[in-house]
Amino acid sequence: MGRLIRPTWGTGPDTIEAPDLLESSGTQPGRGWIVIVFNNEKNTYDEVIEILLRATGCDIQEAYIETWEIDHLGQSVVHQADRPECDRAAKVIATIGIRVEVQRDE
C-alpha cells in the first residue's frame, strides 16, 4: 500500500514522531455512521489535514493524528455522525482525490 507524502514543515520527514493515538478521536461512538479515509501516494500531510479540518470541523491536533493514522495504518476513521452528515463530510474529503468510504458504525 502507498504512503502519504511526508510533510514539508516541522523537523523534517525523517524525524516525525508518532502522535499519542490514545487521545486521537473527538468522535463519539454510537452515532450510526463513520467516515473512513484510506492512504494513497498522491496527497501530502498538509492537504489531508486541511481537508479534514474543513470536512469534519475537528481541531488541528485531531486532524494531524488522523492523517498520521492514514499514513501509518493505511486508513483512519475520521468522523462519526448520522448518515447525511457522514455523506457530506465524505464528499468534501473526496474533492482532493483521496479514497473515502461511509459505513455503518457497528
Ranges of each domain in the chain: 26-104
Q: Are 83 and 32 in contact (CB under 8 A)?
A: yes
Average pLDDT over residues 30-43: 91
d(CA 40, CA 38): 7
Average pLDDT over residues 88-105: 97
pTM over 0.85: no
Which amino acid, one-letter code, is at 73?
A: L
Pick the CATH number of 26-104 from 3.40.50.300, 3.90.550.10, 3.30.1460.30, 3.30.1390.10: 3.30.1390.10
Between residues 41 and 15, which one has the greater pLDDT? 41
DSSP conformational letter for 97: T
